[in-house]
């Protein structure tokens, strides 16, 4: 049976993962309307991944005897200042998600819910990967400076295998 404090924290995480998916959809749409197909494809793939994370948590809560409630999601911003800005916002957002996952880990330990603690480790590893991925992209943007975005857009498409 799922611990009630843990269930409450996971419920909050469902909302965060769903919002993340919508935020990345908004970023993808913005990039696509600016003619940046590679960047759009990268963010569309990120949106799908965040949706999968949300579903994974919903299924876990339900399987463990809880009841996952699908929340309403705040509308994400729809305009962004620059390519660099959109990726910096993405990194900032991933760091918030990492902090939230870490809070759940702490609650699991406090409540001695070791099965959820074990399960949540997948998300701990995933967040390390998410932050590293966005950081690598920002590093590439730093390398090209104010260089041609066309080259960067084609490069980033290859990072996700294109869509």
pLDDT tens per residue across span 142-151 = 888 767 777 7
53 known ligand binder: yes
Residue with the larger pLDDT of the pair 148 and 135: 135
67 is in an annotated binding site: no
What does the pLDDT look like over 10-53, one tens digit per residue?
999 999 999 999 999 999 999 999 999 999 999 999 999 999 99
Residue 161 has pLDDT above 70, yes or no: no
Measured distance CA(42)–CA(97) in Å, rounded: 19
Instruction: Give the pLDDT confidence score for residue 92 in this predicted structure.
Output: 98
Is 50 annotated to bind a ligand? Reply is yes
In a domain, 45, yes or no: yes
Is 146 or 128 the better-scoring residue by pLDDT?
128
- CA atoms of 54 and 1, how far apart (whole Å): 20
Q: Has residue 95 been placed in a domain?
A: yes
pLDDT for res 150: 74
- Can you tell me the distance from the alpha carbon of 151 to that of 55, in angstroms, rounded to the nearest whole number? 35
Domain range for 84: 4-69+80-159
- pLDDT (tens digit, 9 = 90+) per residue, 62-121? 999 999 999 999 999 999 999 999 999 999 999 999 999 999 999 999 999 999 999 999
Q: Is residue 87 part of a domain?
A: yes
pLDDT band, very low/low/confident/very high, at 163 (cuts 50, 70, 90): very low
The reply, when asked if residue 111 is annotated as ligand binding, is no
Can you give the pTM of this predicted structure?
A: 0.91
**Tokens standing for residue 16:** 């965060």
Whether 74 is in a domain gets the answer no
In the chain, how many domains are there?
Answer: 1
Has 7 been labeled as part of a binding site? Answer: no
Inter-helix orientation angle 83-110/37-63, to 10°: 10
Please indicate, yes or no, if residue 75 is contained in any of the structural domains: no
Domain CATH number, residue 37? 1.20.1260.10
């Amino acid at each position: 049976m799922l611990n009630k404090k843990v269930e409450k924290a996971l419920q909050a995480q469902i909302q965060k993962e769903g919002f993340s998916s919508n935020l990345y959809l908004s970023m993808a749409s913005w990039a696509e309307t600016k003619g940046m197909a590679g960047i759009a494809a990268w963010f569309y793939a990120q949106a799908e991944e965040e949706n999968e994370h949300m579903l994974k948590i919903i299924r876990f809560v339900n399987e463990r005897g809880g009841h996952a409630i699908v929340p309403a999601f705040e509308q994400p911003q729809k305009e962004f200042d620059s390519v660099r800005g959109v990726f910096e916002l993405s990194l900032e957002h991933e760091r918030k998600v990492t902090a939230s996952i870490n809070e759940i880990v702490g609650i699991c330990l406090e409540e001695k819910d070791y099965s959820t603690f074990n399960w949540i480790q997948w998300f701990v590893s995933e967040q390390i990967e998410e932050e590293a991925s966005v950081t690598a992209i920002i590093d590439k943007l730093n390398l090209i400076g104010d260089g041609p975005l066309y080259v960067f857009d084609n490069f980033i498409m290859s990072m996700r295998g294109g869509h």
